[in-house]
C-alpha cells in the first residue's frame, strides 16, 4: 500500500509538505504545490495541526455508546465560540473523545487539497494520531508541527500547556519508525475521522469496471448482430415462401391460360374475371375508409350497422340527432367520388336514421 501524508492546508498554511509512505519507507517530502499524484496511491491521511483543532475527553459510563457520542458532540458545540464541525468516538471504560474544528478551516483545507488532485480518506487531529501512554507524555514531531499526547489530552508543544497539563511528568519523543506505524494504522482504522457528516468522502459511483464494460459492449454487439441475422433469415424465409407460392399460383394460372407471362398478369386477369362475375375484390378498404373519414368529420353522426356484399356494395345505417349532421356526411362521401343511395327514416327515439349504400365510381 502507498500512503500519502500531509497536513491540512489553510489560508495561512497553504503549502504544507507531502510525504509518500511506501513499504514503510518515507519518500523525500515535497511542497504541496509541487506534488504530483500517482495512480498507485492507495490511501491518504490529512493531519490537522494541534493548533487548529480541539480534543476533549468526557466520561459518560451510564450511557450507551451512540448516546454518549451524541451528548459529547452537544457539549462540544455548547463550549465552542463559533460554527464548528464535531466528531465523537466512544472508547473503553465509558470515555468519549471529541474533536472539533472550525467549519471554514475544514472546508478550505479540503478544497485546497482537491485542487491539487488529492482527496483524503482520513482527516485526523495530530494529537489523536499518537497513541497515549499512561506512564509518560509522548512528544511527536512531523515537519514543523509538534504535539504533546498525554492521558486525556492532546495539545501543541507550547510552554503554557507544559505548565498546565504536563507539569513534572516525563516527556518521551516518538521515533520515526513508531510514527510511520501510527500513520499506517490510522489510514486503516483511525481513532477518529473528521470526514463525517457533511464532510464525508463521496466516492464516485462506478457502475461497471473497464473489464465489465468491455463484456457489456461485446454482448450488446452480439445481440445487435443476432437481431440483424434473425431479421435477414426471416426475410429470406418469407421471400422464398412467397416466391414458391407465386410459382405454384402461376403454374395453376397457366393451366387455364398458357399466355400468362408472370404473377402480376395472373392477378390482373383474376381481378377482371371476378369483376365480370359481380365479385368485388379489394373494394372494401377504400369504401370503408371514405365512410369513416366523412363520419369522423361530423361528431354527432354514428354508424349502427355495416355490411359488405359480394357485389361490392357497402351498406350502412347512419344515426344522428338531426338530418343536417347526416347530410354533411353524405356530401363528404359524394365529394370523394363514391356513388351512394340514401333513404331517410326515424326510429322510436326520434333520432334520424339513413340507410346508406356506397359503391366504387
Mean pLDDT of 97-120: 92
User: Do 242 and 236 meet the contact criterion of CB atoms below 8 Å apart?
Assistant: no
Q: ∠187-91-95 over CA atoms, to 5°?
A: 140
What's the CA gap between 171 and 175, in Å, rounded?
A: 13
pLDDT digits (tens, 9 = 90+) for 23-63: 767 888 899 999 888 877 888 999 999 899 999 999 888 88
pLDDT digits (tens, 9 = 90+) for 291-335: 888 888 888 888 888 888 877 788 999 999 888 888 999 999 898
Give which of 135, 156, 154 is closest to 145, Cα–Cα: 156
CATH no., domain 2-199: 3.30.420.380
* Strand residue runs (E) in the chain: 2-7, 17-22, 25-26, 30-31, 43-48, 53-59, 84-90, 95-102, 122-125, 137-142, 145-150, 153-156, 171-173, 302-308, 314-320, 339-346, 352-359
The domain limits of the chain are 2-199, 213-276, 284-359
pLDDT digits (tens, 9 = 90+) for 205-245: 666 678 888 888 889 999 999 999 988 888 888 788 778 77
Residue 275's SS3 state is: helix
Residue 144 has pLDDT above 60, yes or no: yes
Instruction: Report residue 344 as a C-alpha cell.
Output: 331517410
Residue with cell 490510522: 186
Whether 2-199 and 284-359 share one fold: the answer is no
Identify the pLDDT of residue 271. 65
Mean pLDDT of 286-290: 84
Q: ∠162-163-167 over CA atoms, to 5°?
A: 80
What count of Cα atoms within 13 Å lies in the side-chain half-sphere of residue 71? 16
Residue 278 has pLDDT above 60, yes or no: no
Instruction: Report residue 39 as a C-alpha cell.
Output: 495512480
Identify the pLDDT of residue 237. 85
Burial of 318 (C-beta count, 10 Å sphere; 0-12/13-18/19+): buried
Neighbours of 26 (CB within 10 A): 14
First-to-last alpha carbon distance for the chain, in angstroms, is 90
* Percent of the chain whose predicted confidence (pLDDT) is above 90: 29
Residue with cell 457489456: 216
Is pTM beyond 0.85 here? no
Give which of 303, 304, 305, 319 is closest to 351, Cα–Cα: 319
CATH no., domain 284-359: 3.30.1360.100
Mean pLDDT of 57-74: 89
Give the pLDDT band of residue 99 (cuts 50, 70, 90): very high
Amino acid at each position: 500500500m502507498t500512503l500519502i501524508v500531509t497536513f491540512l492546508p489553510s489560508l495561512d498554511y497553504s503549502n504544507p509538505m507531502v510525504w509518500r509512505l511506501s513499504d514503510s519507507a518515507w519518500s523525500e517530502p515535497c511542497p504541496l504545490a509541487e506534488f504530483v499524484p500517482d495512480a498507485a496511491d492507495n490511501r491518504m491521511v490529512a493531519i490537522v495541526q494541534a493548533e487548529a483543532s480541539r480534543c476533549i475527553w468526557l466520561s459518560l459510563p451510564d450511557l450507551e455508546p451512540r448516546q454518549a457520542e451524541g451528548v459529547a458532540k452537544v457539549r462540544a458545540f455548547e463550549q465552542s465560540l463559533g460554527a464548528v464541525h464535531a466528531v465523537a468516538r466512544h472508547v473503553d471504560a465509558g470515555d468519549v473523545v471529541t474533536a472539533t474544528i472550525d467549519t471554514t478551516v475544514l472546508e478550505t483545507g479540503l478544497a485546497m487539497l482537491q485542487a491539487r488532485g488529492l482527496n483524503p480518506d482520513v482527516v485526523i487531529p495530530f494529537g489523536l494520531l499518537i497513541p497515549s501512554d499512561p506512564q509518560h507524555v509522548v512528544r511527536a514531531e512531523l515537519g514543523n508541527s509538534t504535539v504533546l499526547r498525554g492521558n486525556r489530552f492532546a495539545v501543541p508543544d507550547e510552554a503554557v500547556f507544559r505548565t498546565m497539563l504536563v507539569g513534572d511528568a516525563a516527556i518521551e519523543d516518538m521515533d520515526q519508525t513508531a510514527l510511520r506505524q501510527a500513520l499506517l494504522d490510522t489510514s486503516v482504522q483511525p481513532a477518529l475521522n473528521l470526514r463525517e457528516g457533511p464532510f464525508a468522502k463521496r466516492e464516485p459511483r462506478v457502475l461497471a469496471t473497464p473489464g465489465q464494460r468491455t463484456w457489456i459492449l461485446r454482448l450488446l454487439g452480439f445481440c445487435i448482430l443476432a437481431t440483424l441475422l434473425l431479421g435477414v433469415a426471416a426475410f429470406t424465409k418469407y421471400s422464398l415462401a412467397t416466391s414458391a407460392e407465386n410459382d405454384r399460383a402461376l403454374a395453376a394460372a397457366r393451366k387455364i391460360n398458357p399466355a400468362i407471362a408472370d404473377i402480376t398478369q395472373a392477378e390482373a386477369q383474376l381481378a377482371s374475371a371476378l369483376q365480370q362475375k359481380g365479385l368485388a375484390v379489394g373494394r372494401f378498404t377504400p369504401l370503408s375508409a371514405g365512410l369513416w373519414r366523412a363520419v369522423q368529420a361530423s361528431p354527432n353522426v354514428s354508424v349502427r350497422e355495416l355490411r359488405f356484399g359480394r357485389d361490392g356494395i357497402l351498406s350502412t345505417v347512419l344515426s344522428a340527432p338531426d338530418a343536417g349532421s347526416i347530410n354533411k356526411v353524405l356530401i363528404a362521401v359524394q365529394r370523394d367520388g363514391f356513388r351512394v343511395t340514401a333513404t331517410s327514416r326515424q326510429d322510436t327515439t326520434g333520432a334520424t336514421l339513413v340507410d346508406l349504400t356506397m359503391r366504387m365510381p
